Amino acid sequence: MRDDPVVIALVRRAAAGDQAAWNEIVDRYAQLVWSICVRFGLSSEDIDDVSQSVWLLLVESIGNLREPAALPGWLAKTTKNECLRVLRVAHRHAHAGLPSEDQMPVDPDAVVIDDEILRAERDAALRAAFAELPPRCRELLSMLMRDPPCRYEDISATLDIPVGTIGPVRGRCLDRIRRSPHIGPFAGGTG
Amino acid sequence: MRNSGGDEERLTELSPGWDDEELLAALRQAFAARRAVPPEFVQAGKNAFAWHDIDAELAQLTYDSTRLTEEAVATRAQEEAAIRVLTFTSAQAGLQIELEVQEDALAGQILPMQAAAIEIQTRTGTQQPISADEVGCFWISPIPSGDFRLRCRPVTGNAEVVTAWVRL
């Protein structure tokens, strides 16, 4: 994993008691915890159980994380363990007396946790970069991100800019995202 | 419920070489993934910070008699195996808290032996104060029904300790 300075700063601030930093951590990584629960096929009740445990464990451990930058990996591993715990309990209730470990309803190795981590980090970086754009850029890109995207005529009318400038403005806004410090840790590698 | 992305979807690293269409598609997907997470799920995660306790050292669960291997349990006398014992340890504070699960109560012991003010904290927010006597013994009755943890303040003024959450 790359050493994302943004994550390291958030972990340090939360460990010192900063609720705003904690909220930002949850906003960034709720997607990661959620998607792993969904991959394990948990019921919504079990998802609540798992997420409560995961966040409480993080609250407990946040001051002692050896590598703050490895937070996404820590969250993914903890979520996976909690999902397995919940499934084991459910399995024990359904088949009392059967060995639990090798009779799991989901093969843990089939759950591609690394992909979820990569996806969650990438998405969080993109959203963070977007959030720091000037308001006009955010408005324009939001309209273009809709499904289906807004027509240029509508964008022109709403934002009061000529249709001909939408393309170039769009390009400049996206360039700002490419240059964002949030994107840096992801785009820096040579391969 | 559907998978957040789908297995066939290509996972590409963010790249400065992405053209505008690729970057816009990635942004679209990033916000769609975030919208798929229910707001109350996110809020519950934020609320968990109420349990952050920077003034106390964490005592981890370091021993649980029910987590012995099956052979170990099988070779033990029946009545011995029936008693569950948990030990929480904080190396930083140099303190251990033992809990013995009895029929309808928990018998507690602080090591090294010392008097302490103890608070039983539950996730629903109830906080019940009890105290450990001068040899570190305390008594919790009835056994808390859900998750709980103990916050322990030695009367000597030594470091305060909070145990990991436990559910019996």
DSSP string, A174-186: HHHHHH-TTTHHH
* Residue B45 shares a structural domain with residue B62: no
Pair (B132, B92) in one structural domain: yes
- The structure tokens listed for A67 are 């590598």
CA–CA dist B147, B5 (Å, integer): 34
Q: Is residue B45 part of a domain?
A: yes
Does position A122 have pLDDT exceeding 80, yes or no?
Answer: yes
Could you give the 3-state DSSP secondary structure of residue A109? helix
Question: For the domain that residue B116 is a member of, what is the CATH number?
Answer: 2.60.40
For B96, list phi and psi in degrees, rounded to 5: -125, 145
Query: pLDDT at residue B147 above 70?
Result: yes
**pLDDT score at B7:** 39
Pairwise CA distance, residues A112 & A120, whole Å: 13
Residue B80 and residue B26 share a domain: no
Residues B94, B161: Cα–Cα separation, whole Å? 10
* Residue-wise pLDDT tens digits, B116-140: 999 999 887 778 899 999 999 999 9
Question: What does the pLDDT read at residue A10?
Answer: 93
**Which is more confident, B41 or B77?**
B41
**Domain topology for A1-131:** Rna Polymerase Sigma Factor; Chain: A (1.10.1740)
**Contacts B7 to A, Cβ<8 Å:** 112
> Does residue B103 share a domain with residue B148?
yes
Number of domains in chain B: 2
Query: What interface predicted TM-score (ipTM) does this complex get?
Result: 0.81
For residues B107 and B24, state if they share a domain: no
Q: What is the pLDDT of residue A185?
A: 67
Chain A residue at shortest CA distance from B47: A23
Asked if A174 and B165 come within 8 Å (Cβ–Cβ), the reply is no
Q: Are strands B95-101 and B127-132 parallel, antiparallel or unpaired?
A: unpaired
The whole domain housing B32 covers: 20-49
Do both B73 and B155 map to the same domain?
Answer: yes
Measured distance CA(A54)–CA(A74) in Å, rounded: 10
Interface test with B, best of A1, A2, A31 (most B CBs within 10 A): A31
Give the separation between CA A75 and CA B119, rounded to whole angstroms: 29
For residue B153, is pLDDT > 80?
yes
Asked if B110 and B96 count as a contact pair (C-beta separation under 8 A), the reply is yes
| Yes or no, beta carbons of B4 and A118 under 8 Å apart | no
How near does any CA of chain A get to the CA of B105, in Å?
Answer: 24
Chain A neighbors of B125, CB-CB under 8 A:
none
